[in-house]
Structure 1
Amino acid sequence: MSAPETHTLVLPGYLNSGVGHWQTRWEALDPACVRVQMPDWEQPSRDAWCRTLDAAVAAADAPLVFAAHSLGCLTVAFWATQYASPAQLAKVAGALLVALPDPAEAHFPREASGFAPVPLARLPFSTIVVASSDDPYGGVVFSQTCANAWGSRWIDLGARGHINADSGLGDWDEGRRWLASLGTPR
């Protein structure tokens, strides 16, 4: 008997991920990639976003990985440390956490509520944090601090901005390989 197929929950950040964004491209390439539709992309609330993620995980019947960008990364950290039950966590093989935003940065959206302070506890599944050296929403020191606290592998992409559609990544095959490396649930 073969292992069940791993499904990917795509977690965009503030304002969602539009055309050309690597998350949107991954969804077009792979039917196992499903976007979690947050209740309000323009007025993000940590509680609403974490409860929405929890419902998406509860509805899943296959092993899961998360492909998170920006505020989606903080949602994963809060969900895993403050919202998820052990049964929910057991479904998750890992998370690719790309372009962590720092709530203390001047560019952090004022419309986002409840995302500070960022939890700095070890996450209960495998994680990879991918950062850019010139991300206006979160610096290298912040992403390294989170990666160390969460027990994550940390990857520096160099100067790629906010690692979004403007970063010129196309289908971002390297990111897809990192996501695939996360394995199966514990």
Structure 2
Amino acid sequence: MKYKDTQLLIIPGLGGSGVDHWQSFWLQKFDSSIRVNQENWNKPQLKDWLTNLNKAILRIDGPIILVAHSLAVSLVLHWVNTYTNSNIKGALLVAPADVDSPTHTPESVRGFAPMPLAKLPFPSIVVASENDEYISLERAEYFAKKWQSEFINIGLKGHINSDSTLAFWEEGQAILAQLINKIP
């Protein structure tokens, strides 16, 4: 990586990331990766999840790149509205779940609404799929514009999760490298 001692902070969404999820494969591949754990993956509470994310960030001494999937994307945006930490150098925001939309997401995530729309204070890339059941492509692009993130459409990859059978998701690793190159 561009930065010596940069940590990838892997932040799973609703349900956690199972063994077949690309985030779990990245934890195996990158020695510099750490996973944020939540006490209840299936009944998310914003306040508890925010506290756990912030604790994980505070435990890392050095540069951090956030790697969030699904519900964790809104968690990152809520974290930015609540906390600050100069160690955060960038964020890879994959398949954001539209927490504002009862059509796209379950009631259990409504506590994460409304989706924060403020500009992110670090470089970021939003990765979305054309056939993600949890967000429309247009809505994902709208969020990226509000956050002033680069937007990448990776085609028909579903929710970019275990069901997408991406394993080490080499395309995602290339996008991560693009993000790292954006970091001043």
**TM over 0.5: same fold?**
yes
**Secondary structure of 1:112's partner?**
helix
Please show how residues 46-85 of structure 1 align to structure 2 within 5 Å: 46-80=46-80, 82-85=81-84
Deviations 1:43-69 (A, max 9, x none): 101111111111111111020001110
Residue of structure 2 equivalent to 1:93:
89
TM-superposition CA deviations, 1:69-128 (whole Å, max 9, x none): 000111011101x2113xx1x101111101111121424122224211111110001110
Q: 2:119 aligns with which of 118, 122, 134?
A: 122
Secondary structure of the residue aligned to 1:162 is: coil
Name the residue aligned to 2:166. 169
- TM-score, normalization by structure 1: 0.91
2-side partners of 1:48 and 1:15: how far apart?
Answer: 15
How many percent identity over aligned positions?
39
In structure 1, the residue matched to 2:15 is: 15
SS at match of 1:8: strand
**Contact 2:3/2:63 (CA < 8 Å) preserved in 1?**
no
CA distance in structure 2 between the aligned counterparts of 1:174 and 1:159, rounded to whole angstroms: 13
Q: Distance in 2 between matches of 1:185 and 1:47?
A: 29
**Aligned equivalent of 1:160:** 157
Contact 1:47-1:114 at 8 Å conserved across structures: no
Determine if the alignment matches structure 1 residue 150 to structure 2 residue 147. yes
**Alignment coverage as a number of residue pairs:** 181
Q: RMSD of aligned C-alpha atoms?
A: 1.7
Residue 111 (1) aligns with residue 112 (2): no
Using the alignment, how far apart are the partners of 1:114 and 1:79 within structure 2? 14
CA drift at 1:174:
1.9
Other structure's SS at 1:54 match: helix
Unaligned stretches of 5+ residues in structure 1: none
Deviation at 1:156, TM superposition (A): 0.5
Q: Which runs of 5+ in 2 are unaligned?
A: none
